[in-house]
Amino acid sequence: MQMDKRIRIIRIIIYIFMVTMLVVLSKQYSSLPKGAKSLDIFINGAPVTESFDFYAGEKATLDYKITPEAFADRRMSWEIEDESIAFINGEGDLLALNAGMTVLTAEAAGFTKHIKLNVKDPVVSIKGFKTDVTVDLGYSYKIKPKVKMAVEGIETPEITYESDNISIVTVSKKGKVKAVGYGTANITVKAGEKEKKIIVRVREPEIAPSEPEDEEKADGEQKNQDLGAWIAPWFGLNN
């Protein structure tokens, strides 16, 4: 009898514990809105489902919508897989850094979405200079490239210069080329992912011909000398 009584008491305790837990859990989950169906992502106001293309240097604003509106106050978290390609802050401001592909992950109210970000090179072309140049030894000149961008308003990427043989041709960070040795060298001009090569041929400098004597100037000097010799005795200037 005593054993049966103890068993009944234990069962009652377990029952009370389970009921209490159910009440606590029901109160916790009843505070969450029910019936959430979807998470929609918007970039610059346009809906995005799988991927988004833009250029390095461009900025974009991300937003989202959860259905139903009861979830509207749920905080969104953003994450970029490769932050060397793109960066995003907690407010959804997106900046494309370098050409490449990465993945944006968005999470809110139990929903997760993955969007591919395809960042393209904004440089269309590099022009404005000859690609085959002959320079006299010891001389220098300046490369003045013109970079065409795919989208207006994007800052032009840094232009870099590199010589494949600095014993023949050197080039500064600002594009000043100097011929320092005989031969041929290549200079690579690069902006973004685009590059263009210049063949520089260094030759022996040509000796400039001496200027012919100005006959009128020589005649004038001779006349002045003759006039001075004629006037000198009158002023006692003869030795």
Q: Which of 145, 238, 237, 131 minimizes the C-alpha distance to 192?
A: 145
Task: Record the pTM.
Answer: 0.61
Share of the chain above pLDDT 70, in %: 72
**Both 79 and 152 in a single domain?**
no
Which pLDDT score, from 0 to 100, does residue 104 have?
93
168-182 tens-digit pLDDT:
999 999 999 999 999
**Of 104, 120, 136, at which residue does a domain stop?**
120
88 domain residue, yes or no: yes
Give one DSSP letter per residue of 105-136, joined into a string. EEEETTEEEEEEEEEEP-EEEEESS-SEEEEE
> For residue 169, what are the domain limits?
123-203
Tokens representing residue 224 in the block = 């002045």
**Both 148 and 107 in a single domain?**
no
Cα distance between residue 116 and residue 51, in whole Å: 4
Cα distance between residue 145 and residue 123, in whole Å: 13
**Both 87 and 111 in a single domain?**
yes
Indicate if the pLDDT at residue 92 is higher than 80. yes
**Of 120, 153, 168, at which residue does a domain stop?**
120
Q: Which of 222 and 186 is assigned the larger pLDDT?
A: 186
Q: Mean pLDDT across the stretch 1-29?
A: 65
47 domain residue, yes or no: yes
**Both 127 and 115 in a single domain?**
no
**Both 174 and 132 in a single domain?**
yes
103 domain residue, yes or no: yes
**Both 132 and 190 in a single domain?**
yes
Identify whether the C-beta of residue 61 lies closer than 8 Å to the C-beta of residue 92: yes
Which pLDDT score, from 0 to 100, does residue 26 have?
55
50-73 tens-digit pLDDT:
899 999 999 999 888 877 665 555
**Both 113 and 141 in a single domain?**
no
Preceding amide of 157 cis, omega within 30: no
What is the total count of domains within the chain?
2
14 domain residue, yes or no: no
114-156 tens-digit pLDDT:
999 999 999 999 999 999 999 999 999 999 999 999 988 888 9
Tokens representing residue 30 in the block = 């009843």
**Both 197 and 129 in a single domain?**
yes
CB environment 29-41: b (16+ within 10 A), e (fewer)? eeeeeeebeebeb
Cα distance between residue 7 and residue 134, in whole Å: 105
Q: Which of 106 and 211 is assigned the larger pLDDT?
A: 106
DSSP state of 229: H
The CATH number of whichever domain residue 113 belongs to comes to 2.60.40.1080
21-35 tens-digit pLDDT:
765 555 544 444 454
- Range of 14-18, 28-32, 226-230 with top mean pLDDT: 14-18
Q: ∠ at Cα 134 (200, 190), nearest 5°?
A: 35
**Of 120, 136, 167, at which residue does a domain stop?**
120
177 domain residue, yes or no: yes
DSSP state of 49: S
211 domain residue, yes or no: no
**Both 78 and 99 in a single domain?**
yes
Cα distance between residue 65 and residue 51, in whole Å: 17
Tokens representing residue 222 in the block = 């001779």
